[in-house]
Amino acid sequence: MQLDDLYRQVIMDHYQHPRNRGTLDEGAISVDLRNPSCGDEIHLQLLVDDGVVKDVRFLGSGCSISMASASMMTEAIKGKSIEEAVELSHAFRAMMRGEDVDLEQMGELEALQGVKKFPARIKCATLAWQALERAASVPHGGHIEEETLGE
């Protein structure tokens, strides 16, 4: 099996069997974000306690790349400090721009690196991560109403 096939399997597994899909109770930080160029939408919720992401959930609709990336992100950030989660987000977005990053730091997220070859799909892959970065600036229990990414 070639590496591209393995990456494709990882992405499809997260798309067909998303991890951490659902909602959290009151007190969670929530962000709604939409990508107008393709229609992808995400509702991201974080439960942060003492600066650590204790739980994370998402609901959304969109392409396989967008939803798989959201699922993979939730697994990658759970248990990290909010600062570490944002640092990972910056590294992920740098990978999407084709910049050199520590692929060991990326873990399973490395499967999405091929998206950088398709500029129109980069916003799909980074939608959940942009929601995470917005959530990091929201106080406990706060909510950012639906925002639309710039074209």
pLDDT tens track for 65-74: 999 999 999 9
Q: How many helices (H) and strands (E) does the chain have?
A: 5, 4
The domain of 51 spans 3-148
Average pLDDT over residues 22-35: 91
- Report the C-alpha gap between 149 and 38 in whole angstroms: 11
Instruction: Please state the domain count of the chain.
Output: 1
CB atoms within 10 A of CB 106: 18
pLDDT tens track for 105-127: 899 999 999 999 999 899 999 99
CATH of the domain at 7: 3.90.1010.10
Strand order in the sheet with 52-61: 52-61, 41-49, 29-34, 143-148
- Report the C-alpha gap between 44 and 30 in whole angstroms: 5
- Report the C-alpha gap between 85 and 25 in whole angstroms: 21
